[in-house]
Chains A and B, each alone.
Chain A
Amino acid sequence: MTQDRRALDVSTLPDYAFGHKGLIWWGTVGFMVIEGSMFVIAVIAYFYLRLKVDEWPPSLPNPDLFAGSVNLAVVLISCVPAFFAKAAAERFDLPRLRLWLALLTFFGIASLALRVFEFPALNCRWDDNAYGSITWLLLGLHTSHVATDVVESLVLFVLMMTGPIDDSRFVDVSENSLYWYFIVAWWIPIYLTIYFAPRWL
């Protein structure tokens, strides 16, 4: 048996790490990049289709601003509980984490509920014309992301109430907030595209 030299001892290292030092962050960011690319391409497709016609929206009224704008306010405010849930997770402060995660989930559900009013407020159907198709697609794509993260937040919240909890779950909560920021950040350009491109362009 050849002698192996014990060159490096890692037994004292922690078994979790928040942010980019940890592995979960890279998975989360990987999927954020994939979905971000999808959003970018969808927005490019929107403007590509805009160039193909003279009038925008083509013989349809502009979308109503109210529901979408309220939703923008809701998701921007939801960044507050997302921030404090992340901070509480990184301090392993379980009571505060539960509180902020519950609030984050609540805001997420509120945002989803507003989408019920947003789709009719587009004032078009997906099969009216290409404008209707791409507008519905943008809103649908973003809604599916909101729905995914609301379910994730809800599941994490229930887990944090019932257990079993171990350290890595606090990392999950932290990354969940990161993913939520991503979804909120994307709502700003998509909101502007859906509601203001028809008015300004």
Chain B
Amino acid sequence: MNDDATQAPEPNEVGAEALEDDALRRALERAWCVPSGVIGRLSVVDHRTIGIRYIVTAFVFFLIAGALAGVMRLQLAIPDNHFLGPDRYNQLFTVHGTAMMFLFAVPVMEAFGVYLVPLMLGARSIAFPRLNAFSYYVFLFGGVMLFVALVVNSGPDAGWFSYVPLAGPDYGAGKRSDFWAQLITFTEVAGLAIAVEIVATTLKMRAPGMSIDRIPLFVWAMLATSFMVIFAMPSVVLSSTFLLLDRLVGTHFYNPAEGGDALLWQHLFWFFGHPEVYIIFVPALGIVSSIITTFTGRPVFGYTALVLSVIATGFLGFAVWVHHMFATGLPQLGLSYFTAASMVISIPTGVQIFCWIASLWRSRLRLETPMLFVLGFFAIFVLGGLSGVTLAVIPFNLQVHDTFYVVAHFHYVLIGGAVFPLIGGIFYWYPKMTGRMLDESWGRVTFWALFIGFNVTFFPMHLLGFMGMPRRVYTYPAELGWGTLNLISSLGALLLTLGGALLIANVVRSRHSGRLAGNDPWGGDTLEWSVTSPPPVYNFLHIPVVEGRNALWDRSPDRPIVTGIRSDRREVLVTSVTDAEPVHTTVFPEPSIWPFLCAVVTSAFFVGSIFTPWALPVAAVPLAVTLVGWFWPNRRDAAKRQSQPALQEQRA
């Protein structure tokens, strides 16, 4: 047995210790190696590699979806514009919204979780690493499918929430809405897999000492998000399956003529769709808390209140879905309840904002780029939150229903509430992921371009909404007087594009020429800053013993560590849910090509089922084969997994 870590030398022999660390490092590098070559790269199960692939892919989808928005702004810049026809415009806004929600916002947040959660918890891997790889490929193939559909003029065109009967068999022509329904299936499978991984990792794989009241706030946010994904996404899986079945095999779930109901779609969609907003927003809250803690250089104010607010938001997010349906003629009493619930949900968010203000109060704040984006988040998100409260008031809601006021509101909430913290997060964690800093002065310019560009683009939309401009129209006559504001908005989009281009240039350029970051360029408090940048394949040479809420700041000078984890195999420590006491070790799977193959078959099945129900029986056998291949242990791995002889005897 190659148990380097347990052969304890005399405590004072520093030289021997260094030598031993060296041997341990080499053993761990062998055990956790990331394979190369084509097959090897497709077999990777390493959470950092998959996490970065996920982030980059989500950003590529973000850029494409953003470009679609740019084309729309070009179309709307002047009245009576016929640059785009209504049919193309419908596809553009549908694919823009769908891609932003399902291919960017949710996945990119989960991807940050995939990368960061194990590092923040002091774990060597994410739980179920092969499932993680599978999730990525399913996500990738789903995204490619959507954009290919758009290119061949089969892009979905019924809006990102795809209401029936417009999206149903009677009005939704061709295969457009089927592509939409299956895109949902792709992204839900990918998203649910990650949610389960993050829950299991957070609850069972924390470093000893990290009891439940010491979990970093970002991880709490990811945990709450994952639970929301687990409870919300089944609803949209089912509703999009109903839609596909209505269109493919003639079921009548949404057909009122045969006892179905079109509003069933809206209930099922928004029971998912509203929590979805929080699924995007809550991880951003975690990013904000992380950045504020580091840049104020002291523990965040009101840890418990912040955690409870995140959890409360998670619950309340499920109780407000009907506020998207105020215009559907539901009973008055029900609507009043949903108005009240929608106002209640602003309370936990308010608590968080006040905790952050208290954290910033009289602190020695460092105004570097990540912190700038957090301050930008405050400004924009608070405005978006206020317009949200106005929308909860039914008479007002009916007045601005389906106008640009709603478009303005949700862009303030989503871009302000999620994208700004996310970009702050990129500036904050890019050094950890790549080993180099992003350029600070470019970062400041990026911030101002995005902040000003955003407000110039989206603020006029509030006014356009008051003036009655409906969303989702491809053009408008000059006499209505909407031209000036639309032109301003389109010019703002130009500035936004510039900011985006600057960010990309910074990311690409700094990859090789950025200033070296070192382990901890910001003086952070969480465990990812204790390892090299980028982190080694095994994350932690020694699993740390955590002594406080701010793991690195509270660590005693002699740096307590865990010993006795084997280094000749992918062994990880499993700890208890509340106290993070060691319970057992377990051996994680080696890299494998099977998750990739399984994702290929799964994707072929999803795409095939757009065209024929026979895709199911045809795909069943290859799917079973790839799943068995995935599960079946080879003899070498089984031997590695075998218990130590002493334990076997003890058991016998």
Contacts and interface: CB of A to CB of B under 8 A. Distances in A.
Interface of A: 1-17, 20-23, 26-27, 30-31, 33-35, 37-38, 41-42, 45, 48-49, 52-53, 58, 92, 126-134, 136-137, 151, 155, 159, 163-169
B389 to A, nearest CB: 29
A126 B18 contact: no
B267 to A, nearest CB: 7
B542 A4 contact: yes
A9 B563 contact: yes
B586 A22 contact: yes
The 6 nearest A-B residue pairs measured at CB: A11-B564, A7-B560, A164-B638, A30-B196, A133-B251, A130-B259
B235 interface: yes
A129 B259 CA distance: 6
Contacts of A42: 238
A52 B634 contact: no
A136 B253 CA distance: 11
B86 interface: no
A6 B245 CA distance: 60
A8 B234 contact: no
Contact of B643 (A7, A52, A136, A167): A167
A12 B264 CA distance: 55
Contacts of B639: 164, 166
B259 A34 contact: no
B268 A17 contact: no
15 contacts: A3-B14, A4-B561, A9-B562, A9-B564, A10-B564, A10-B573, A10-B585, A23-B204, A23-B205, A45-B268, A48-B261, A49-B253, A52-B259, A130-B255, A137-B245
Contact of A23 (B3, B200, B561): B200
B31 interface: no
Given A7-B562, A42-B238, A16 B586 contact: yes
B561 A5 contact: yes
B554 interface: no
Contacts of A20: 577
A5 to B, nearest CB: 4
Interface stretch (B107-115, B399-407, B521-529, B625-633): B625-633
Nearest to B259: A130
B612 interface: no
Contact of A9 (B6, B18, B268, B631): B6
Contacts of A45: 238, 242, 253, 264, 268
Given A3-B14, A17-B574, A45-B264, A27 B587 contact: no
A126 B251 contact: yes
B272 to A, nearest CB: 10
Contact of B584 (A1, A13, A27): A13
B237 to A, nearest CB: 7
Nearest to A57: B259
A37 B227 CA distance: 12
Interface in B295-313: none
Contacts of B144: none
Contacts of A127: 249-252
A155 B586 contact: no
B234 A41 contact: yes
B583 interface: yes
Contacts of B545: 7-8
B203 A26 contact: yes
B199 to A, nearest CB: 6
Contact of A8 (B127, B131, B199, B208): B208
Interface in B201-230: 203-205, 208, 230
A30 B199 contact: yes
Contacts of B628: 155
Contact of A92 (B14, B192, B651): B651
A11 to B, nearest CB: 3
B227 to A, nearest CB: 9
Nearest to A155: B628
Contacts of B334: none
Residue in A34, A134, A151 with the greatest tally of chain B CB atoms within 10 Å: A34
Contacts of B576: 21
A4 B585 contact: no
Contacts of B233: 34
B584 A15 contact: yes
Contacts of B87: none
Given A26-B203, A45-B268, A8 B574 contact: no
A116 B633 CA distance: 33
A34 B582 contact: no
B16 to A, nearest CB: 10
Nearest to B261: A52
Contacts of B632: 155, 159
A157 to B, nearest CB: 12
A45 to B, nearest CB: 6
Nearest to B272: A41
